[in-house]
Amino acid sequence: MANNQKSHQFDIHQIRNIGIIAHIDAGKTTTTERILFYTGQTYRMGNVDDGTTVTDFMDQERERGITIQSAAVTCEWQGHQINIIDTPGHIDFTAEVQRSLRVLDGGVVIFDAVAGVEPQSETVWRQADRFGVPRIGFVNKMDRPGANFARTLNMVRERLSANPVALQLPIGAEADFRGFVDLIEMHAVFFADGDRSSPGKGMEQPHITAIPTQILDEAKEHRDRMLEQLADWDDEIAFLYLEGKEVPAHLLRSVLRRETLAGHIVPFLCGSSLRNKGVQSILDAIVAYLPSPLDVPAIRGTIPGSEEEVVCRADPSEPAAALVFKIVTDPYMGRLVYLRMYSGILKHGQTLLNANRGEKERVGRIVRVHANRREEVEEIRAGDIGAVLGFKAAATGETLCDPMRPVALEKITFPTPVVSLAVEPQSKADLAKLGLCLQRLADEDPTIHVRQDERTGQTIISGMGELHLEVFVERMRREFNVHANVGEPQVAYCETITRPARGEYRLVRQTGGHGQFAHVILELEPLPAGSGFVFEDALRGASIPRKYVPAIEAGVRDALQRGVLAENPIIDIKVTLVDGNYHEVDSSDIAFHAAASMALQDGAAKAAPVILEPIMRLEVTAPNEYTGEVVADLKIRRATILSLERHGDVQSVVAHAPLATMFGYASSLRSRTQGRGTFGMEFDHYAPVSEAIQRMLCLKKAA
């Protein structure tokens, strides 16, 4: 096993930017905690249950025993710098995973050896696929009753359409889990008996021995299976294997690294992080098989305002280019901007261009982040991750670059909020602090949307789920001392149109002096689900001067926030500006903005609008004897059952269900399964509500 090295200036090929990702309660934070201990970053292991972990440093994280915010830490292993981001597992905080994967080069995906592939496991796996992130797998909790390494790999193969390659064969299982066979070196590794009640116990170096004779044949069989998988990707291994010759370990490692980086295979390890078993193997695999910044394709951006492409290579000698992926408001240090350097060097006092805003920012203090601790550094080089204090305007997803080489990198996209609630400050003092509080928290979390209800004057906060909003309101109280009355969570409905239509509005106002005149004609057409909003300028001739087109588009965008049925946002629509008229004296941006809004409302009312509700994909797992109860309850909630899968003595039910019917489902499931049922839920798509529900929602809004 490898030993930790002393800190020094690392070359770019010695850097690993990796994320720890998994379903909630699979062991991400515990694994990260052990990694920090083994690499010498901490001298005492924390535990999630005790609220003493390094990366879960928020009060709410320690109280709830879950990760809410992704936390960055840096450690060293085998002469390599490893930047680790420990991400949340709860679906409500999936945006934290999404923005972390956007800037990471590799991932460690952790699976529960008992539960196997869980709903959020699938979600994070698909996110990693979308960003092309190479990864290794770790089957955790091998010491728990019901743990099954082979079954978990089969689930990965079937449900994730992946190609897992087992590099280890577990020795024993459940309470008898003692170690593993290293299928590359063909020796056995036995662990000391880890015991969470005794922090130092089980931390000794694993004992390496010859493979016990009683499992030697099984080990050879599993090694042959590994060689067969690798032979599909390498001719030299195929030749040696077919000739019956020994395949050297260095060749296996070389092919494993190459094919992992290409995304063709996923190496898998096993262990029990809580009992300190197998964590060093993860560190060795991170260094051996996951990419350095030089191993991933150079990121590409565009020159702002044009389509001309710019390639940002991971080279300190190139002009600086960095992507902001997270904002944190530190109560002591102020606004902390996390960024990934893709090229060049970031130094104190340097001036950078915000390519998205066209504004310049001066670099203040630069820090390397260790969860809630900060270490001040002189610079951040290409390929590294760090944070800067002093940026006033930079927001998540924006690009900071050298003014001499402007480049805008692809922005980070986030899912649409599906749950809303109203907040009202309890006193005038709370009202005065509410605006700043909401601004800072929404700045940190791009999936939080804040708006004002024009009819009631209430502040409406929208987020990804009940827990997400509950945490947000609690942060308002604890961190900003803002006390508010909070309404019940409400579904964030949307509207769309179902057929093309034309909208027109002629604004004529005379006030004695200069009046207001604008005439706008729009064509509306529905777009496929998930397309968002598209605006097209199809003006011909000089019916409307081009200088008014931005005001018309802004007016359309404003009108889309208030649908014609129940004032819900309108989505998945294309709006084309086709004609209109103007007056040389009385026309203005304000006039065209107002006329465009009214034209959009006119067209939407003619286009057979419908209300859409968020449909969630959920997976419920419960003992077989409760399957009937679970399915019956889901049917009452208007769910569509997609599949039923049996795994031993438990049944997995996958379904689509309207979010409106799923509030309080956790309590219902517990009562129906005597506390033995679990479920995971994520947003899947929007779908039209029934006519009866649409009438009810329209009447409710009118009242």
Tens-digit pLDDT profile for residues 407-459: 988 887 777 777 888 888 888 888 888 888 888 888 878 888 887 766 666 78
pLDDT at residue 331, as a whole number: 62
Query: CA–CA distance from 699 to each of 527, 565, 605, 606, 608 (Å)?
Result: 27, 9, 16, 19, 18
Q: For the residues 54-82, what does the mean pLDDT come to?
A: 62
**Residue 196 pLDDT > 60, yes or no?**
no
Q: Output the CA torsion sign for 604, 448, 616, 163.
A: positive
3-class DSSP assignment, residue 507: strand
Q: Residue 94 in contact with residue 24, Cβ under 8 Å?
A: no
d(CA 519, CA 596): 8
pLDDT at residue 195, as a whole number: 46
With CA atoms as reference, report the closest residue to 164 among 118, 123, 207, 117: 117
pLDDT at residue 135, as a whole number: 93
3-class DSSP assignment, residue 612: strand
pLDDT tens profile 357-373 = 888 988 888 888 765 56
d(CA 491, CA 278): 44
Q: Residue 570 in contact with residue 497, Cβ under 8 Å?
A: yes
- Burial label for 400, CB within 10 Å (0-12, 13-18, 19+), is buried
Q: For the residues 366-394, what does the mean pLDDT come to?
A: 81
Q: For the residues 334-342, what does the mean pLDDT come to?
A: 85
Looking at the domain covering 495-608, what would its CATH class be? alpha beta
Across 12-16, 533-537, 539-543, least confident range:
539-543
**Residue 90 pLDDT > 70, yes or no?**
no
Query: CA–CA distance from 557 to each of 550, 554, 597 (Å)?
Result: 11, 5, 8
Q: For the residues 491-517, what does the mean pLDDT come to?
A: 86
Confidence of residue 44 (pLDDT cuts 50, 70, 90): low
Q: Which residues on adjacent β-strands are paired with residue 310?
A: 301
The three-point CA angle 651-654-656 to 5° equals 150
Rg (alpha carbons) of the chain, rounded to whole number: 28
Query: CA–CA distance from 414 to each of 93, 100, 102, 426, 587 (Å)?
Result: 11, 12, 11, 32, 38
Residue-wise DSSP of 537-576: E---TTSS-GGGHHHHHHHHHHHHTS-TTTSPPB-SEEEE
Tell me the pLDDT of the chain averaged across its residues: 83
What letter does residue 690 receive in the DSSP assignment?
P
Looking at the domain covering 299-409, what would its CATH class be? mainly beta
Q: Do the domains 495-608 and 12-295 match in fold?
A: no
HSE toward the beta carbon, residue 175, CA cutoff 13 A = 0
First to last CA, the chain: 69
Q: Residue 569 in contact with residue 563, Cβ under 8 Å?
A: yes
Q: Where are the domains of the chain?
A: 12-295, 299-409, 419-492, 495-608, 613-702
Confidence of residue 47 (pLDDT cuts 50, 70, 90): low
pLDDT at residue 96, as a whole number: 67
pLDDT at residue 126, as a whole number: 81
pLDDT at residue 635, as a whole number: 92
The region, left, alpha or beta by phi > 0 then psi within -120 to 50, assigned to residue 305 is: left
Element (H, E) at 468: helix 466-480
In terms of C-beta distances under 8 Å and separation of at least 24 residues, what long-range contacts does 59-65 make, across chains too? 59/478, 60/471, 60/474, 60/475, 60/478
Highest mean pLDDT among 54-58, 66-70, 130-134, 423-427: 130-134
Question: Could you tell me the pTM of the whole model?
Answer: 0.71
Measured N-to-C along each axis, helices 279-289 and 249-261 cross at an angle, to the nearest 10 degrees, of 70
Name the CATH architecture for the domain at 419-492.
Answer: 2-Layer Sandwich (3.30)
pLDDT at residue 7, as a whole number: 40
**Residue 134 pLDDT > 70, yes or no?**
yes
pLDDT at residue 9, as a whole number: 63
Q: For the residues 642-670, what does the mean pLDDT come to?
A: 84
With CA atoms as reference, report the closest residue to 132 among 233, 262, 235: 262
Q: What is the 3-state secondary structure (H, E, C) of 25-59?
A: CCCHHHHHHHHHHHCCCCCCCCCCCCCCCCCCCCH
CB environment 660-695: b (16+ within 10 A), e (fewer): bbbbebeebbeebbeeebbbbbbbeebeebeeebbe
**Residue 49 pLDDT > 70, yes or no?**
no
Q: For the residues 206-225, what does the mean pLDDT come to?
A: 91
pLDDT at residue 269, as a whole number: 95
Q: For the residues 673-698, what does the mean pLDDT come to?
A: 83
**Residue 476 pLDDT > 90, yes or no?**
no
pLDDT at residue 50, as a whole number: 44
Q: Residue 142 in contact with residue 177, Cβ under 8 Å?
A: yes
Query: CA–CA distance from 652 to each of 157, 170, 649 (Å)?
Result: 17, 26, 10
Q: What is the 3-state secondary structure (H, E, C) of 345-411?
A: EEECCCEEEECCCCEEEECCCEEEEECCEEEEECEEECCCEEEEECCCCCCCCCEEECCCCCCEECC
Name the CATH architecture for the domain at 12-295.
Answer: 3-Layer(aba) Sandwich (3.40)
pLDDT at residue 372, as a whole number: 58
Confidence of residue 219 (pLDDT cuts 50, 70, 90): very high
> What six digits make up the tokens of 83?
């930047």
Query: CA–CA distance from 25 to each of 49, 114, 499, 577 (Å)?
Result: 11, 12, 46, 51
Pick the CATH number of 613-702 from 3.30.70.240, 3.40.50.720, 3.30.559.10, 3.40.630.30: 3.30.70.240
With CA atoms as reference, report the closest residue to 404 among 451, 368, 455, 351: 351
